[in-house]
Each structure stands twice: as structure tokens, then as C-alpha cells.
Structure 1
Amino acid sequence: MRVLVVHNRYRSAQPSGEDRVVDQELALLREAGHRADLFERRSDDISSMSLPRKAVVPVRVPWNPAARDALAARLRADRPDVVHVHNTFPLLSPSVLDACTVAGVPVVATLHNYTQVCPTGTLYRDGAQCRACVGRLPLPAVRHGCYRGSRLATVPIALNLAANRRRWSASVDRFFCISAAQRDILVESGMPADRLVVKHNFVPEPGVVRTGRAEHLLFLGRLTEEKGVRLLMSAWDRIAAGGGLGVALALAGTGPLQDEVARWARDRDDVHYHGLRDPAGCRELIARAAAVAVPSTWLETFGLVVVEAKAAGVPAVVAGHGSLAELVDDGVTGLTHRPGDAASLAESLRRIVADPERNRELGTAARADYERRFGPRAGLANLVGGYRAAIASTGHGAAAVTTST
């Protein structure tokens, strides 16, 4: 099968799980013998642009004719069986969908967030869940300056949503939702249910798994309000006031709250802030953990770190809502806590380390769930199956439909 993946990479200063998913799926397809190529733009390139070119970037968020023409030329040269679209913001734009339509190439799109119904893609504002723009013009987002706290910066992405909502629905043959919880919200918003399918992200074998005594509890991710970092700090202070757990809390990542986290961790023996770690360093931190903590206050569309922990035989403590409750079977592969409740989170963290034997059982069950639902074999079957369905629905690429995986 010939696959062309279309993706706008995020800034390297803010590592994205979405970028990792793209790279991992490309490698998976290539290892299975498919021809998988990449058409990409990089947000890092914006910093080296001239001032006039930088000024044009926001204007072209809803429609970028240069990106459309470049992809059209690539489609004529490569003649792929299917195009797989991931992120188009800010340097590609939904104009790439038009290039695919004109070329008659089936399109699959992975929805990594909620940008189809929310300009910022988070359904989150001012420390609380928000659906003010779902199913209507995204004027509330502009009024509140939801993107980077700026009304002016929010205008291009609000226009993008308003102008291209129908284009996405008309041009994409198959939408991959990365959790059932995400799909439910998008169906409720009016997106075409018959083309929204659940395809969980897969995780490659980590190469390192947990052995021996765990050294810490781990938070690994972006240091933002919605990821629950402040909630975790509050819960840990409760734990420390009660005498601690006998293991430290390790935090790794970067983001708007990194200075606050670093100050909080400074001069404490029970907290270690590791900053930004490379993928190998992240895998090592996970393999040494008693559990990973994912106390997100927003509705995560997936929870990649939960599956990365499963792959290493490590259970998770997660907020019991959205996709996180879907990924963790409470009391079987990890524990859940009441979302936004520091006392509940603290109690779940205590329970996950209180009984080492029970913790090992949870980790073993988590690893078994990874092998069944989230490993490379399941990932390839789900990915190629989605491509085949998209191709079959349009009548294009009949030969590719019967290609063996």
C-alpha cells in the first residue's frame, strides 16, 4: 500500500505526543512493507522566517494556497493509495484537503484533539471544561482570547474552524478518533457518526520494563493547568504532611508551569524535577516507577503516557473521566481518582504503593492489556484496516484493498 502522511510538526521546544505518534506509525507501516512517505511542515521554521513571511502565517491558517499547490504536485508524483492527515496548523491549513479531493485520493484523518469543535482543541478554559463553541460559531473563543490569552491570536484559528468545518466533513473518508470518549463528544457535536471510528494510538515495545523495586511515582508530560500538575502538587503536600509514602515524586516535562514546579520541588527530598527528557530518558523513568500519575482536569482525548506505562508493566493512577477512565480498568490495570479532587488523588497514590505485591499484579495486568490492545500488532491491524475501509468507500485503489499486511 502507498500511504502519504501529511503533518505539521509542533515546536521542538514543546515536544508533542502527536509528533511521536506520526513517527511511530510511519515506522510501523514501513517495517510491514508498505510504502509510507511524509509531507510535512515544521513550526520550528517560523522563527527563521523574514518578518513579512511571519506576518502572513496567521492569515494563511484557514487557507494556504502554497501548501495546497505543493501537496497537489506531490500527489501527482507519488500517486498514493491513501492520504493520512494529522495536524494542519499553522503552516499547512485545510487547503491540503482540497488538493486530495481534486486528485481523487481517499483521505483518512486522525483527530488528536477537539479542533473540529473547539478552536484551541481542548474544550477547556479558565481552569474548567468548556463547550461554548461546540456546534456554533466560535465567537466565545475570540471574546475570551482562548488561544494564548489573546483575542487577536485567536481570530485566525476561530476563522479556520468556522470556514473549514464543512470542508473536513465533505473531504475526509474516515476519521480516526483516538478514544471512544472523544468519539462520543464529536458525534454529539454533529460530526458524521458513520465515518468516525475509534483507533487507539499504539506504542512500540519500549525495550525496557520494570524490574525490581520501584524508585518513585512519576508525572511525565506537559506542565500545564489542564494536565493537573497543580492538583498533583496539592495532593503530594497532603501526603507529605501525613508522613510521606517512602518513595519520591518525580516530575519530567516542560511547559508554562515549569518555573512554579521547579520552585516547589527545590530543597525537597521527596520531590525531584527532571525537566525535559529525551525519549530514552522518559522510558527509563517509566520503568523505575511504582506508577505514573495522570491527574488531568480536562478531557484527554487519549493518554499516551498511560499506554507507555502499560508497555513497561507499570500501572497508572488517572482521573476517572473521559479517555483516561477508558484506558485504565480501576483496580485491575491501575487506579482512578475523582477528577479535580486532591484528597481522592492523594488516597489513590497511597493505595498504589501501599501493597508492593498488589502493585506488581496491577503492572502485570497493565502489560497484558498493552499486548492485547496497544502493541504493534494491534496498531498495524487498526491502521491498515482503516485505510482499506477509506479506499473501499471511494472505489479508489482497489488493488491496495487486498494487499496483505
Structure 2
Amino acid sequence: MHVLVVHNRYSSAQPSGENRVVDEEAGLLRAAGHRVDVFERRSDDIAARSLLGKAAVPLLVPWNPAVRSQLAARLRTSRPDVVHVHNVFPLLSPAVLAACADVGVPVVATLHNYTQVCPPGTLHRDGKQCTECVGSKVSLPAVRHGCYRGSRLATVPLAVSQSVNRRRWWSGVERFFCISAAQRDVLVRSGMPAERLTVKHNFVPDLGTRRAGAGEHVLFLGRLAEAKGVGLLMAAWDRIAAGGGVGVPLVLAGAGPLEREVADWAAGRDDVRYVGLCEPEKCRDVVARSVAVVAPSTAMETFGLVVAEAMAAEVPAVAAGHGAFVELIEDGVTGLLHQPGDPGSLASCIRRIATEQDLNREMGKAARRRYERNFSPAVGLERLEEGYRTAIAVRSGGGKSTPSAGDAHTGSRRGTRASRDGGM
């Protein structure tokens, strides 16, 4: 197939899991013999704009007419079989959907977050889950609370785009890829067309790096932000330290708004190491040398790349028992789920997974088997191709936009079972 990938690349100042997914999927498709072209914009380019150009960026968020004409011209010239849309904020806008409709090219879109129903895409506000805008046609609560970057003004373009482009999204995309059943459930409850939503978990490349031995540290790898549970993890680790520790240090790798707080907390301690941002090769190594990876997010994650990466390396995880984590982790089998937001529960799970070595080893092996069944490149390629074929058939009138039973429902049942096991 000939696939055109449409993506607004996130700023290079912060590592982006979404950018990685886009690049890895393109590489996977090319390796399988498909032709993949890219139509993209880069948020990094905003800095080079004139003052007037920078001031105009918010106006382009709901609609960028230049992108519509440029993409339509590209489509008429290259005639791809399908367009795969990822992020369109802030420089592409939903005008990409109009361009595809102008030329009659089928569209699939990966929903990496909750921007269809929540302007900042997180379902998280003031340290807590928030669903005030879910199901609403106008996201006034988000504007009132300044949910995007703490600014009402910055939130307005996102809220306007969500409102005026809702029907365009829901009717202009033949197939939506949700990256977890938990995400799909939220979107269906919000009113999105269930027949167009299918679950396609992100895949993780198998780089052949697996854990040897018991591991050297407990690892947090990700954005240093409150929504990622960093404050919760520090509180839990202080409890562990007060009880004598677990024999290995906590390593925190990443950057973000809590970077200074984390660095100050770690300073002078033997049981904590803050290592900052890691290059990809270093990240793979630090994961493979872990006793366990910790993902204590207080927000409802749509996936959990670091958990899947740990599985590939035969490393179990401790994660919050909500959102996508209940699909990734079978509690007590491939890792442990802690009570969301509870530092005592998190500390107990870390202590158990770090000190019960036989259990840890068996969980690591089970995690690797789960990775091979659900998150490997072979599985990722199969789901991509299936989604593309469905979108092409629907656009040509030869098929119906209905997800398979396994895509739409099996993940939800698995997630529900895991949530019960996790004691939510």
C-alpha cells in the first residue's frame, strides 16, 4: 500500500513518545514493503517565525486554510491509498481532513490522547482526574479553568477547534485507532461513533536487550510532572526508605516541570539517583538493568510505552491501577497494580516486587510472553494493515466501518478483570 502519514511533530525540547510511535510505525511499514510518505509540520519551527507569525499561530489551531490547499495538491499528485493522521496541533489543524475529503482519499487517525473530548487531552486537572468536558459540545469548563498550560487564553483555540470540528472528525475519518480499550471506552461514552473506533495498541521494537540477573535499581523513566505521579513516587519512596529500603536505589530519568524539585530531593541521598534525560540507547540499557519499572501516573494514561518497553526487556512493572495500565499489566502475573494516588499502596507494591526475587523473575518472564503476544512489531504491523484495508474498503463502498469483536471488546473485558484484581 501507499500510505501518507500526516503529523505535527512535537517540540524537540521534550522527548515525545508520540513522535517515536509515528517514526517507528513508518519504519515498520517500509520494512514490510509498503510505500510511506510524510506530510508534516514541526512545532520547533514556530520559534523562527516573526512576531506577527507567532501571534497568528493560535488562529491556525481550529483551521489552517493553507494546509488544506497544500495537502490537497500533494494528494492529487501522489494519490496514496490511505492517509494516516496523527497529531494536527498546532500548525496542521483539522483542515487536513477537508483536504482528504476534497480528493476522496480514505483516512485513518490514531488517537494518542483525549483531545477529542478534552482540550488539553489529559482528563486531568489540579492533580485529579477531570471529565467535566467529556460529552459536552462546548468545552467551557476547560476555558474557565485554563486547562491548557494554566491559561484561559491558550485554552480557547483548543476548545474552539474541538467544538467546530467535532462533526468533521467523526464523519471524515473511516477508522480511528485507539491505543487502549480504556481510552476507547471513554470516547464511546462521550458520543464518538463506536463503529469507527478500534483498539490498536502501540507496538515496541524488539531490540534484543533483556534483563540479566536480578536488576540493579527501581526505575522511573518519563516526564517529570505531577500527572505522571512523580510527587506520589517521592512520597512512597520516602516511606520505603524510612522502613529500611529495598536494597537497590531509585533511579529517575527524564525532564519536566518538577525537574528542580526532583533534583533537590535526590541530592545527597544514597538511595536515589536523578540522571536527567537519557539518549535512546542509554534508556534501553537502564530499563534492562531494572528490578522493576514504576509508572504511578495520577492521570488516565491512554497507553504506557515504558511499561511495554520493560516487558520486551523481561522486566516487570508497578503501575497505577487505572487507565491503560490495567490492560498492559495482569496484576500479580506480569507486574503489580497499586491503588491510584495512594503512596502507601505504591510503596507496598515496590517493596514486594523488589524483595521477592522469585516472584519478580517469574513476572519478568510472563511480561516478555505478554509483549510477544500483544505489543511486538509483528502484531503492530498486522493491526495497521487491517485498519488501512478497512478504511479503503469503507471509502470505496465495499465494507462497513465496524471494528472486529476482538478489537472492540476483548481489551475492555481484560481491562475490567485487571482492575478488579488490582483492588480498585
Q: Secondary structure at the match of 1:308?
A: helix
- Are the counterparts in 2 of residues 106 and 396 from structure 1 also a CA contact under 8 Å? no
TM-score by length of 2: 0.93
Is 1:28 the equivalent of 2:28? yes
Find the counterpart in structure 1 of residue 243 from structure 2: 242
Q: CA deviation at 1:396?
A: 7.4
Q: CA deviation at 1:278?
A: 1.3
Q: CA deviation at 1:212?
A: 2.1
- Are the counterparts in 2 of residues 26 and 36 from structure 1 also a CA contact under 8 Å? yes
Is 1:388 the equivalent of 2:389? yes
CA distance in 2 between partners of 1:280 and 1:397 (Å): 45
Runs of 4+ in 1 over 4 A off after TM superposition: none
Is 1:54 the equivalent of 2:54? yes
| Residues 195-254 of structure 1, C-alpha deviations (whole Å, 9 max, x = no match) | 100000000112311112311000001111110000000000000001110000000111
Q: Secondary structure at the match of 1:293?
A: strand
- Are the counterparts in 2 of residues 210 and 312 from structure 1 also a CA contact under 8 Å? yes
CA distance in 1 between partners of 2:329 and 2:372 (Å): 14
Aligned length: 398
Find the counterpart in structure 1 of residue 207 from structure 2: 206
CA distance in 2 between partners of 1:374 and 1:394 (Å): 29
| Residues 140-189 of structure 1, C-alpha deviations (whole Å, 9 max, x = no match) | 11111111111111111111111111110010000000000000000000
- Are the counterparts in 2 of residues 203 and 374 from structure 1 also a CA contact under 8 Å? yes
Q: Secondary structure at the match of 1:207?
A: coil
Q: Secondary structure at the match of 2:219?
A: strand
Q: CA deviation at 1:67?
A: 1.3
How do 1:31-180 and structure 2 match up within 5 A? 31-136=31-136, 137-180=138-181
- How large is the Cα RMSD of the aligned pairs? 1.1
Structure 2: segments with no counterpart, 5+ residues: 400-424
CA distance in 2 between partners of 1:293 and 1:206 (Å): 21
Q: Between the two proteins, what is the percent identity of the paired residues?
A: 68
Find the counterpart in structure 1 of residue 234 from structure 2: 233
Find the counterpart in structure 2 of residue 257 from structure 1: 258
CA distance in 1 between partners of 2:398 and 2:304 (Å): 34
**One-letter code aligned to 1:59:** L
Q: CA deviation at 1:69?
A: 1.4
| Residues 229-286 of structure 1, C-alpha deviations (whole Å, 9 max, x = no match) | 0000000000000111000000011111111111101111100111011111111110
**One-letter code aligned to 2:128:** A
**One-letter code aligned to 2:133:** C
CA distance in 1 between partners of 2:72 and 2:323 (Å): 38
**One-letter code aligned to 2:21:** V
- Are the counterparts in 1 of residues 4 and 83 from structure 2 also a CA contact under 8 Å? yes
Q: CA deviation at 1:15?
A: 1.1
Find the counterpart in structure 1 of residue 187 from structure 2: 186
Find the counterpart in structure 2 of residue 364 from structure 1: 365
Find the counterpart in structure 2 of residue 339 from structure 1: 340
CA distance in 2 between partners of 1:317 and 1:368 (Å): 17
Q: CA deviation at 1:12?
A: 0.6
Q: CA deviation at 1:397?
A: 10
CA distance in 2 between partners of 1:209 and 1:68 (Å): 46
Find the counterpart in structure 2 of residue 280 from structure 1: 281
- Are the counterparts in 1 of residues 298 and 340 from structure 2 also a CA contact under 8 Å? yes
CA distance in 1 between partners of 2:248 and 2:228 (Å): 22
Q: Secondary structure at the match of 1:226?
A: helix
CA distance in 2 between partners of 1:326 and 1:226 (Å): 19
Find the counterpart in structure 1 of residue 422 from structure 2: none
CA distance in 2 between partners of 1:206 and 1:181 (Å): 28
**One-letter code aligned to 1:392:** A
Q: CA deviation at 1:394?
A: 1.2
- Are the counterparts in 1 of residues 214 and 361 from structure 2 also a CA contact under 8 Å? no
**One-letter code aligned to 1:336:** L
**One-letter code aligned to 2:73:** A
Q: CA deviation at 1:363?
A: 0.5
**One-letter code aligned to 1:5:** V
CA distance in 1 between partners of 2:356 and 2:132 (Å): 44
| Residues 92-139 of structure 1, C-alpha deviations (whole Å, 9 max, x = no match) | 000000000011000000000000000000011111111111121101
- Are the counterparts in 2 of residues 81 and 397 from structure 1 also a CA contact under 8 Å? no
Find the counterpart in structure 2 of residue 11 from structure 1: 11
Q: CA deviation at 1:371?
A: 0.7
CA distance in 1 between partners of 2:61 and 2:377 (Å): 34
CA distance in 1 between partners of 2:41 and 2:208 (Å): 30
Find the counterpart in structure 2 of residue 268 from structure 1: 269
